[in-house]
Every structure is written in C-alpha cells, then in structure tokens.
C-alpha cells in the first residue's frame, strides 16, 4: 500500500495533520472532529490494493470498477455514500508535439476525499501543495479539493490549447508556403494533428455537463456556496472547448485548402503536358504524311521542299509555344 498511496493526510481547520496508520482510525478521527476530512491520493492501484480503501469508505462497486479499469469518459455520478467524478488531464509533449491524456478519479464523501490517478498526466502534488498554503480554501473540506482539482485540470486545458494553436500556425505556414512541399507529408501532418485535437476533445467536451451540474445544480457532498467557483471552472472549460472547436474547423479548412492546391497543381501539370503534346502533334502529323510513301507526291521532286517542310514544322511549333505561353499554360 505505501507505494500505491502517494499521499495521505487529515486536514483540520485548513491545516494538515498526519493521520493514524490505520485507515479506519484515520476516517473515524476526521469524522469525530467535525471540521476535518481525510484526503488519500493513490496512483494506479490494483483491485487487491484498492480493496481495503473500498471497504473502509463504503465506495460503490460500480464506481470502484470504473476507477480501477480506467478508460472512462469524464462524468459525474452520485451514489448513496459518495460522489464519483472522472476527469481526463491533458499533457502536451513539446518534443513530439503530441497530446496525451491521463485519468483522474475523485471520490468525495462524508469527511473524506480519495483521488485515483492513471497515466502520466494529472499529478496532484502541486494542487495539494497550493491548497495547504491556502487554509481559508481548505477549510471548506472535500468540496475545496474537488474544486481545486477540477480547476487545475481545466486551466491546463487552456495551456494545451495554446500549444496546439501555435503548432497549427506553423502547419498553416507550411501548407500555404510558396515553395512546393511534399504533399503526402503535409497531408500526413494534418491528419496527425486532427488526431491530436480529437484526443483533446475527448477530454474537454464531455466534462462540460458534469461541471454545469456542479455549478448550477444541487449535488450531494458539495456545498451550495461553492457553486460560483464551479461556475468559474465551467466558464474556463467553455473557453477551452471553443478553442478546440476552432482548431478542428481550421484544420478542416487547411486540409481543404491543401487538397485544392494539389488540384490546381495537377491542372497546371495537365495543361503543360497538353501544350507539349499539341506542339509535338504538328511535326508528327507532317512526318506521318511523308511516311506513307506515295509514289506521286509533287514536292518529292523539288529541291526546296524538304527545308520548306522543316521550316513549316518549326514555325507551327513556335507559334503554338507562343500561344500557350501567352495563356499561361507553359
């Protein structure tokens, strides 16, 4: 259990105190105090490791299954003895320009908070540290933890969206660059970028409904006076969703523009090919006529016929070249 439990503490009147080693005694102490709660942070526990916590806090089996299995959509579910919320923290890797998402489950109940984290994203050490330096917020109990965790996750969405916006600007510059780039490479970049935005949307979009429930509805184990704070988080989340939708639309426009550019380039190539084929057709036709080997061809007995025919072919090709050049085909 020590390797699974990242941190565990009792917070009394906004101040951290170390709990007893036994979880049952720690929870009983927090509830007996009246102004305290127990916060346990866990990282990727197995079913066996989480079993003791499940029994001590009377967590619902369905919520426990979701917390252990992971791969859940952001959601908020209310059970008899606890509140269960799933968030998907997003992490932007500057080295690979990719977005990865983790999972963060929060159980809130009578005088306790249990957080279960999966993946690299969503570390709560900074959130816990910030709360411990703000006792006025921490005095509000488990609600304060739920708010702080949600606020940290959503604020990081804004940062990830800004990074994606910067990457999109670089991609647009590459798409519309005057120099001809590899079309396949650009198309692959656009498609890969759309996958990153899709992964990001899976984290941000479904979270809006749970946030609105916390901000505007009556939710058990969440104090009513905390609604303005959750409304602020919901507002930031709406902003992140707007960023994401804008990125998706711009990517679709960039892909359409790239395909249009490829079509224009292909048309230019076809016009050039057609122009050269037309110029080659004139001497081919003349040479074909003379290649039929008729016996009675008057110009065969004239000495200047051969240079005249060559001159006509050259003049015709030169005229066609000037015509196609003037029309922009060459």
DSSP assignment of 117-166, as one string? EESSS---HHHHHHHHT-HHHHTTTHHHHHHHHHHHHHHHHHHHHHHHHH
pLDDT at residue 210 is higher than 80? yes
**What are the C-alpha distances in Å from 49 to residues 39, 42, 152, 189?**
17, 10, 27, 42
Residue 266 — pLDDT band, cuts 50, 70, 90? low
Residue 174 — pLDDT band, cuts 50, 70, 90? confident
Task: Please check whether residue 162 is in contact with residue 241, taking contact to mean a CB–CB distance below 8 angstroms.
Answer: no
What is residue 269's predicted lDDT score, i.e. its pLDDT?
Answer: 67
**CATH number attached to the domain at 5-261:** 3.30.460.20
What is residue 2's predicted lDDT score, i.e. its pLDDT?
Answer: 53
Tell me the pLDDT tens digit for each residue of 269-287. Answer: 677 777 777 777 777 777 7
pLDDT at residue 35 is higher than 60? yes
Q: What is the dihedral of CA 178, 180, 182, 187, to 10 degrees?
A: 40
What are phi and psi for residue 131, nearest 5 degrees? Answer: -65, -40
Specify which residues 107 forms β-bridges with. Answer: 84, 114
Question: What whole-number distance in Å separates Cα of residue 230 and Cα of residue 150?
Answer: 8
Question: What whole-number distance in Å separates Cα of residue 165 and Cα of residue 212?
Answer: 26
128-142, 180-194, 218-232: least confident range: 180-194
Residue 325 — pLDDT band, cuts 50, 70, 90? confident
**What are the C-alpha distances in Å from 51 to residues 46, 67, 256?**
8, 12, 52
Domain with CATH 3.30.460.20 in the chain: 5-261
**What are the C-alpha distances in Å from 246 to residues 179, 234, 242?**
27, 18, 6
The pTM for the full model equals: 0.77
Domain with CATH 1.20.58 in the chain: 267-326
Percent of the chain with pLDDT over 70: 86
pLDDT at residue 80 is higher than 70? yes
What is residue 298's predicted lDDT score, i.e. its pLDDT?
Answer: 62
**CATH number attached to the domain at 267-326:** 1.20.58
Question: What whole-number distance in Å separates Cα of residue 253 and Cα of residue 225?
Answer: 44
Instruction: Please report, for the chain, how many H helices and E strands are present, in that order.
Output: 10, 9
Run of H or E including 11: strand 5-12
């Amino acid at each position: 259990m020590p390797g699974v439990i990242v941190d565990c503490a009792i917070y009394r009147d906004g101040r951290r105190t170390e709990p007893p080693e036994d979880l049952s005694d720690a929870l009983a102490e927090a509830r007996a105090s009246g102004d305290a709660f127990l916060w346990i942070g866990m990282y990727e526990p197995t079913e066996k490791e989480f079993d003791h916590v499940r029994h001590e806090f009377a967590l619902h089996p369905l919520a426990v299954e979701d917390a252990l299995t992971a791969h859940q959509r952001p959601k908020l579910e209310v059970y008899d003895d606890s509140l269960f919320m799933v968030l998907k923290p997003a992490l932007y890797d500057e080295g690979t320009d990719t977005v990865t998402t983790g999972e963060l489950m929060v159980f809130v109940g009578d005088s306790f908070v249990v957080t279960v984290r999966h993946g690299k994203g969503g570390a709560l050490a900074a959130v816990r540290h910030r709360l411990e330096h703000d006792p006025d917020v921490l005095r509000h109990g488990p609600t304060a933890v739920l708010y702080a965790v949600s606020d940290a996750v959503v604020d990081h969405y804004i940062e990830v969206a800004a990074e994606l916006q910067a990457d999109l600007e670089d991609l647009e510059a590459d798409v519309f660059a005057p120099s001809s780039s590899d079309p396949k490479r650009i198309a692959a970049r656009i498609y890969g970028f759309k996958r990153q935005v899709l992964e990001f949307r899976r984290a941000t979009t479904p979270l809006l409904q749970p946030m609105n429930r916390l901000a505007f509805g009556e939710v058990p184990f969440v104090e009513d006076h905390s609604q303005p704070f959750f409304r602020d988080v919901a507002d930031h989340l709406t902003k992140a969703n707007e960023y994401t939708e804008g990125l998706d639309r711009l990517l679709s426009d960039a892909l359409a523009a790239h395909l249009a550019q490829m079509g224009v380039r292909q048309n230019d190539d076809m016009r050039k090919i057609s122009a050269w084929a037309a110029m080659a057709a004139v001497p081919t036709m003349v040479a074909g006529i003379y290649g039929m080997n008729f016996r009675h061809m008057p110009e065969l007995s004239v000495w200047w016929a051969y240079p005249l025919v060559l001159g006509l072919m050259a003049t015709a090709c030169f005229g066609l070249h000037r015509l196609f050049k003037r029309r922009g085909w060459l």
